Amino acid sequence: MSILGFVGKRALLKWRSIATVTAVICEVLWAALHRRCWPRTVRELLVKQILFTAVDASGLVVLVAILSGISIVTQANVWLSRFGQSAMLGSVLVAVIIREIGPLLVNFIIIGRSGTAVATELASMKVRREINVLDAQGVDPLIYLVMPRVIGITISVICLAVIFSVVSLASGYFVSLAMDVTKGDYSQFTGNVLGAISKRDVANFLAKTLVPGLVSGVICCVTGLEVHGSVTEVPQAATRGVVKSISAVLVVSAVVSILTYI
């Protein structure tokens, strides 16, 4: 019975956590659709979040994209050349980069850089009782603190995922030229890549960037606001936010792949 009780307790805690995250996502989206929830201060926070999350991380994303394109083309060429299917390189790049690797790596980078920062910042504000001060002044913490950060992270994930995909495909093309996989016709390579992209790939790409961006942003915000008052809880909140966000991204990615391609 103790084992059943432990399992039941953990299941209830997980369910409550999922319900909380879902409710906050709905509240954020509902507030984002109303103009009155976007005063100048909130818009400034949104711009700062996008600058920190997207612009400052663009160099790292480009570097990872270049290295990923090189690695994928190198490995794909080994297998495709064995079966004489080098013409399928564009389809392989689309399947690996656009469908899976691009959205996943970008989400991981954003969680590692911005997710920890958001959770730490909000947890520190909670410890210093700044949240109580905002609430006493009639400022809704959801609108002022959570909404611009979540929307900024989501926009950043989508933009960086597009940049990652383009740079990876470009680096893959140049590596394939160096390895004599393609014959230098960039238009043919582009045509093969675009021809391999279907409507399901576009829907899959948008779902794997939009939904994980919302979920990870909300998880980091909620985790940061869950601290009670001890300074030692701040790094613990950041760690929990990262772990939960990565787990959620992997689950969402798997579910989206199943719903899209099966």
Q: How far is CA 23 from the centre of its chain?
A: 19
Q: What average pLDDT does the chain have?
A: 86
Whether residue 1 has pLDDT greater than 60: no
Query: pTM of the predicted model, to two decimals?
Result: 0.89
What tokens were used for 253?
């990615």
The share of the chain scoring above pLDDT 70, in percent, equals: 91
What pLDDT does 58 receive?
92
What tokens were used for 47?
């711009």
Q: How far, CA to CA in Å, does 213 sit from each of 3, 116, 194, 221?
A: 35, 14, 25, 12
Q: How confident is the model at residue 93 (pLDDT cuts 50, 70, 90)?
A: confident
Q: How far is CA 210 from the centre of its chain?
A: 8
Q: How confident is the model at residue 88 (pLDDT cuts 50, 70, 90)?
A: low
What pLDDT does 177 receive?
76
Backbone angles phi, psi at 83, to 5 degrees: -105, 5
Expressed as residue numbers, the domain containing 249 is 2-261
Q: How confident is the model at residue 86 (pLDDT cuts 50, 70, 90)?
A: low
What pLDDT does 150 receive?
95
